[in-house]
Structure 1
Amino acid sequence: MTTERIVIAGVLAAITIILGVVPGLGFIPIPTMAGNATTEHIPTILGGVVAGPVVGIFSGLVFGILSFLRATTPLFKDPIVAIVPRLFIGLVSWAVFAGLKGLNRDVAAVVAGFLGSATNTVLVLGLAVARGYLPPVAVLPIIPQAVVESVIAAILTVILARIFYILESRLVRAPDTKPREELPY
C-alpha cells in the first residue's frame, strides 16, 4: 500500500460513510420490493478501478459494516448478507477494469461499473434466497431496478474514473503568472 492508495481508501471510506448516514443519498427510498435504490456501492467500485483490489475491498468492507449497523430488516442484520457480498464489489470491479483497460480505459470503466453493481445485487439477493430471507420468486421484481442501478453505476464510474486520471496525470494546471516570491501570500 502506497501513501496515495491509503489516502484514496480513506477518502472513499469517508464518502461511503456520508452516503450511508445522510438520508436519501446512499440508500434512496423507492416504492419497490427492494425498498431502496443504492448509490452506496459507487465508491467501492471506484476504489477497485482507480486504486486496486485492496482499496476496493476496504471500501466494500466499510459499506458492508455500515449497511449491517444501520439495518432495519432481518436480511441486513445478518452479517453474511450485509458484509460479505460488498467485499466482492471492489474485487470484481478491479478485475474487470484491469482485464479490459488495455483495450480502452473508458470501456473498461463502464463494464467495471456495471459488473461491480451487478455483483452487489446478485450476491446480496443470492444470499438472501440461500439463507431463507426471500423466496426465489421475490427476486424477479427487483431485476429492473438492479439493471437501472448498474447502468447508473457504469455511467458514474466512467465519469469519475476519467476525472481521477485527469487529476492524477496533472493535465489540469493553473498557469503561473508571477514568480512565487512576488505573490502576496
Structure 2
Amino acid sequence: MPQNRTRKIVITGVLGAIAVLLGLTRLGFIPWVSGASLTIMHVPVIIGAVLEGPIVGLGIGLIFGIFSLIQAAVAPTGPADVWFTNPLLSVLPRLFIGPVAWLVWQSLRKWTVPALILAGIAGSLTNTILVLGMIGILGFLPFAALLPIAIANGLPEAGVSALITLVVVAAWQQFAVGNRKGARL
C-alpha cells in the first residue's frame, strides 16, 4: 500500500505543477469574447480526481487555490485580482472541484464516455459557481451581475473542460471512445 500512497502524492504534485504552469505561462487562459478568457487551470484538478480519487483532487485543488492567491498578491493582471488575495475566494472554492468531479465520475462510471464528460462539466461548474457565489457573498459584485458572467464564461469553460477531461483520461486509461481505443476522437 505505501506504493499506492506514493503514486497519489506524485500525481498530486505533477498535476498541481501543471495547474501552476498553466497559470504562470497564461496557457491556462483561452482568449474569449470581449477580452474575457476561459480558464482551464482547474482541469488538472478534475483529471486528478477522476484518475486517483477525491483526496488527490482536493490536494491539486489546494495547490491551484494557493497559487491563485499568491499570483493575485504578487502579479495581479487586473483590478479584480485583488479580490483573490482573500483565501475564501481563491482557495476555498477550489477544494470542492475534485471531490465533486470524482462523485460524478463514480456515480456514472458504468458509462465511461458520458461519465468523463459529465465529471468535466461538474468540476468546472463547481469552480464557476463557488467562485462567483463567493464574489457575491463577499460583496465584490451584486448577484445580478454574476449570472451573465456564469453563462458567458462558465458554460463554455465547462464544455472545454469536458472535452479535455475526456481526451486525457481516455488516452491515459486506454478507454474505448467510439470504436477506437484511447483519445483519438
What's the TM-score once normalised by structure 2's chain length? 0.83
1:36 positional shift: 3.4
CA contact (8 A) 2:69 2:90 kept: yes
Structure having the higher helix fraction is: 2
Matches of 1:152 and 1:121, distance apart in 2: 13
1:75 positional shift: 1.9
Computing the radius of gyration from Cα coordinates, the structure with the larger value is 1
- Show the counterpart of 2:178: none
- Show the counterpart of 1:62: 63
Q: What are the residue-to-residue correspondences of 1:38-77 with 2, within 5 Å? A: 38-71=39-72, 72=76, 73-77=81-85
- Show the counterpart of 1:17: 20
Aligned pairs, how many?
Answer: 166
Matches of 2:85 and 2:57, distance apart in 1: 23
- Show the counterpart of 1:179: none
1:32 positional shift: 4.8
Matched, 1:150 2:158: yes
Structure 2 segments unaligned to the other structure (5+ residues): 176-180
RMSD over aligned CA atoms reads: 2.0
Matched, 1:131 2:132: no
- Give me the identity figure in percent: 41
Q: For the structure 1 residues 53 and 75, does the alpha-carbon distance in structure 2 shift closer, same or farther, using more than 3 Å as the test?
A: same
- AA aligned opposite 2:122: L
Structure 1 segments unaligned to the other structure (5+ residues): 173-185
Matches of 1:32 and 1:86, distance apart in 2: 26
- Show the counterpart of 1:99: 107
What's the TM-score once normalised by structure 1's chain length? 0.83
1:105 positional shift: 1.4
- Show the counterpart of 1:181: none
